[in-house]
Structures are given as structure tokens and as C-alpha cells.
A and B are shown apart, each in its own frame.
Chain A
Amino acid sequence: MLSGITLTGIHEWEVPLGYVPDMRVSGRLFLSETLGEALEEGAARQLANVATLPGIIGHSFGMPDIHWGYGFPIGGVAAFSEDEGIISPGGVGFDINCGVRLIATPLTLGDLTDRTSIITELFKKIPTGVGSKGSLRFSGSALDELLGRGSAYVIEEGLGLPDDALLCEENGHMKDADPDLVSEKARKRGEPQCGTLGSGNHFLELQVVSKIHDPLTAQAFGITEGSICCMIHCGSRGLGHQVCTDHIRNMEKASKRYGIRLPDRQLACAPLTSSEGQNYFGAMAAAANYAWANRQIITHDLRTLFESLFRIDYNEMPLIYDVAHNIAKWEEHIVSGKTQRVCVHRKGATRAFGPGRAELPGKYRDTGQPVIIPGSMGTASFLLAGTETAMQKTFGSTCHGAGRVGSRKAAKKALRGSEVSADLKKQGIIVMAPSGDAIAEEAPSMYKPSEEVVRVVDEAGLSRIIATLMPLGVIKG
């Protein structure tokens, strides 16, 4: 572990006041000894930088998949008070509401006899990679509706099941969204891209439920051992990227105007009460809605393909849940014994609300929300449940994935995409992507072991492991 950071509880470490100048609160990291060895100094510094921002409550948090990003670390969580706090695009990231969803199917391994052809069909059906465009184009009033209402709008257009929106965090739309605050440039980028996967670490993966750890909760979540699920990971595409770009400059000016000292320009921010802060919030919420619509359209394409490939019904592929990884939201939390409305930033982190929260769909209110944690291409993914401990310790937050450990540069130097694909094929995992580099950069060895990340959040009490899912085939951008 880096010097100055000390163990204070089960997998819980303190980044003390003074780790960087002007910290208002201390930092809290959730790491095992092994993950602690891989902690980058840059990531710890970014976590401490967040602690200097006005109105931060409790601590600046780092989840076990923490790594060096820009502004906030990836795996960073921070909550800000309503009257004194700030909102920062650097605490959300360029890919607003990048997130992940899990879809159940009635299929089992025996139904997937020719896995290569299934993955080939998916690769043909779902647009992936740079320059790809969706089969539907949303512009004018249709784009306004989509930005204002997210999942619900595209479901009404016939692209989903009635319950799909309710089975998303925020019911698939943030009500504070204001489409008028989304610039013309952002709209132009978004018009052709809804229903596309993108590139980088985004993917669609077929998985088999290999182990149930908690049968009762698994039953509530609607999954059984041996069944096939589909995981989709993507975000708000060029529209969200442009919203972030549009607002960073404004926020930097606002930071100066409101006398906020920034240790990193990418932490540019504005008070939540300011017009600049509220304008960003409205535009960010609209981009978040675009991301939910995007994942919904990909879900629709998957379901229609599987209807024809396997002769199963559209209704037999329910959404288990959809969670956001990059977002800032108003939430109620107990602070110093009192319920307070706070703005929680999660950047590369997942909401993990425990049992009893009114925001959860009725069927998950007794179990805590489903938390979906993707592994890297060749490793296990996990379904977990939110906990009361997460509510008490981390503003209801947990990890979001395996977390990178190797750079893209190192990956391309050390690995060839064709060899990574061949290795995965030997394990029965079929990978398709537009280029070998895309596969090499996302190779399993470039990520922390997902089992270790999930073990830490489970043992620290931030979420409970419900099921393990193993990869069968993946398409990437």
C-alpha cells in the first residue's frame, strides 16, 4: 500500500487529511492487500483531490476497482450538500450514464450448439465500433421526447416490454432532464447513434449462470443456475460526450467566478445552486436518458434476433435490471442522523441501494437492488444485491467492474488480438470485434481479477454476491 494510507477496517483504508493540500474530508478506499499493491499513486491523488471540493460530505470514496482516470478517479464516489455543494462534469465523465444491464432468457447451454454463428448474427445485428449508425434515427421532437423521457419513450414506440423502464435505476429516466439544455452539436452527434454499442470497453456478452450463491435472492431476481443471460454495457454515445465537452469550459469559468480552487482543471465545477450547475445537471440528465434509450434499443434488437434464432417469445426475455456507472443524482441519505438530500457523484461506481428503499421496484424492495458487475472478456461477471451497510458507509455505492490494471499501450505491445481471441476460443468463449487491437486492449490480463474486486465489496458489506455468470461469447466495438 502507498505510504500514508492506513487500514481502518475490513478492507477499508483511510487517505488522511493532508494527503494533498486543502482536503476538507478524508478519503476512504475499499481494497484487499492484493488490490492495494496495484493502487496507482495517481488514483490515490485524484481521490484526495475530490476531497478538496466544496460541500463534500463524509469522505471521498474509492471502490476496489479504482484506477487512474481524469478529474475523479474511476471507481470514485462523492456526495455533496444541497446548499454548499458543487456538481462537476469531471465526477461523471464524458460517457454520461455509461451503464450495464442484464437480460434473462429461457435458454440453456444445450440451446447454444453453434455459438460462433450466434455471435456472428449478433455482430451483424448490433452496430459496433467507430462510425457505426443505428437503424433508427431520432431528431427534432422525437429526440426531445427521447431526451426527456428516456426508456419510457422508446418502449412506447414499440421497442420494449412495459416493465422494462421500471427495471432501470431511476425508472429509466431522470425527471430533471431538460432537452433544451442539450446543444445543437450534441443533438447532431446523437441523432444517428441511438441503438449502437460504441467502442473501448463496451460490449454485449452472452453468459451462463454458473453458480447461485443465494437461492432466495436469485429467485427474486429471476435467474436460475444454467440459464443463459445477456449483458449489455454502453452509454450515451457522442451526445453524452458532447454534453460533457460543452459544459467543462463553462464550469471552469464558473469555478473562477465562485472562487473555487481546483487542484485539477478536469474537476471544474459549479455550486449546485448556481445557474451553471443547474444547466449542467439538466443537460447531463437528458444525456443519461439517451443512454437508457440506447441500451433499450439494443435490448430490443437482441430480443427480436433471439425470437427468430431460437423460436422463443419476446416476453420470455425480461430485463433483470439496468444500472448507471457514470452519473450525478439527487438522493436522500442519512447524514449525522438526519435525512438529507445530497448530490451523489458516481464515476465508475454503481448504486447499491439496500432493502426498503422506495426507489426500488416492488419485487426488489425486500432484497436490495440488483447490482450488475461485469468481468473482463474472459472472466466471470457477478450479480450482487445492495445492502444496508452500503447505505451507511458509501451513500449506497459499490464497485462497477474489474477495473483496468494494464495500459492500452502495454496491451498492444504485449498481446496480439488474434492470439487473445484464440486463447479465449480454447476456453469456449467466442469474441468478435472490428479489429485485433480492440481485443488486445481489453484482454483479461489487462484487468484486475473480477473475483477479487467482488470478494472485497462482499466482505466489506457494500453488496452481497448472489450469482456468478461465466462468459460464452462477446461482441465488442
Chain B
Amino acid sequence: MVNQMGIEELEHTADVRIRIRAESHEELFTLASSALFSILYTGDCRIERERELKVSGDNIEDLLWDFLSELLYISEVESFVVCETSVCFIGNDLYATIRGETFHPERHGGGREVKGISYSDLFIREMDSMICSEIIFDI
């Protein structure tokens, strides 16, 4: 599933646990979005739609949790397969633009449903001059 630079899948018995290393918070959130959508969907993704979203949080970890939970919601109710994400932070808010296409079972089917983003062991911290995060996706 995930084999993008900066994203590594770690061992977890029941769920999918991801480690992300990025040079900025913007890149980290973009990679986290890629990790989520690479679990959910298979196949190529074409850019045919675009949508904006905003989430607010008291701290950077809450923002990441809210952001991924919101992406999960949008992908499910709007049948949105996301292939590109860009984000910017203004104060306590995150503004994101997601681009992708409508879900087609024949091209995107066969992925794994993500039930939710776990709070357990979720962190974002600086390590070796990189920003590192670990996220558990409940499968």
C-alpha cells in the first residue's frame, strides 16, 4: 500500500500504523492525506474535482486528527478519491484544498475501509531536524 517517500508502514496487529517524516508541517499533513487515501482506494487517481475545507484545533495534533477525520467523512459521503492535497495554516485553523475524482468501483475498489483515526499514540514531534508523526488508522 504505502510506498511514498516520507511514509512508512509500521507493525500493528489489528490496524494500520503509519510513520511520516516531513520537512514542514504542510508537507506532513499532505503526506498524511496520501497515506489515508492509499489505504482506502486502489488504482490511478485523476484530477477532475477540487474542494476546499477548513478545520480548527487547539494544537497541531488535534488539527491532524480533525483533518484526517474530515477527509474520511468527505471521501465517504461525497465519493471523493483524493490524489493531491495542499494545506496552509492560519492561526489555529488549517485550510486545505483537495483534488481528485469521483469514486469508480471498477478503478478504485478493493481498498480497505478506515473506521476512524485513533487518538492512541498519535504524535507530531521534531526528530533529527525533521517533523515526525505516527498515526494509527483503525481498519
Chain A interface (Cβ within 8 Å of chain B)?
A: 40, 67-71, 74, 90, 93-95, 129-132, 185, 188-189, 198-200, 238, 241-242, 244-245, 248-249, 252, 264-266, 268, 404-410, 412, 434-435, 437-438, 441, 477
Contact = CB atoms under 8 A, between A and B. Distances in A.
7 contacts: A68-B14, A71-B118, A131-B105, A200-B112, A406-B13, A408-B12, A409-B16
Nearest to A238: B76
Contact of A70 (B15, B40, B105, B113): B15
Interface string B97-119: 00000010100111111011111
A93 B118 CA distance: 10
Main secondary structure of the interface of A (DSSP, over half): mixed
A131 B72 CA distance: 12
Nearest to A241: B115
Top 10 A-B residue pairs of the complex, sorted by shortest distance between their CB atoms: A435-B110, A70-B120, A94-B116, A94-B115, A265-B119, A266-B120, A70-B118, A199-B113, A434-B110, A266-B119
A244 B116 contact: yes
B14 A434 contact: no
Nearest to A131: B103
B79 interface: yes
A125 B115 CA distance: 23
A200 B118 CA distance: 16
B138 interface: yes
Contact of A200 (B12, B42, B121, B139): B139
A327 B69 CA distance: 22
Contacts of B29: none
A406 to B, nearest CB: 7
Interface of B: 1, 9-16, 40-42, 62, 66, 69, 73, 76-77, 79, 103, 105, 108-113, 115-122, 136, 138-139
Contacts of B79: 131
A70 B136 contact: yes
Given A68-B13, A198-B113, 10 more contacts: A67-B13, A70-B119, A95-B115, A130-B41, A130-B113, A265-B122, A266-B118, A409-B11, A412-B1, A438-B112
Contacts of A188: 77
A94 B138 contact: yes
B31 to A, nearest CB: 18
Nearest to B42: A435
A53 to B, nearest CB: 15
B15 to A, nearest CB: 7
A132 to B, nearest CB: 8
Contacts of A131: 79, 103, 105, 108-109
Contacts of A434: 109-110
Contacts of A405: 13
Contacts of B121: 70, 264
A407 B1 contact: no
B90 to A, nearest CB: 21
Contacts of B62: 249
Nearest to A268: B119
Contacts of A409: 9-12, 16
A407 B11 contact: yes
A185 B62 CA distance: 19
A464 B113 CA distance: 34
Contacts of B139: 199-200, 408
B14 A67 contact: yes
Contacts of B108: 130-131
A242 B120 CA distance: 17
B109 A130 contact: yes
A81 B120 CA distance: 25
A35 B79 CA distance: 42
A271 B126 CA distance: 35
B5 to A, nearest CB: 18
A435 B111 CA distance: 7
A71 B112 contact: no
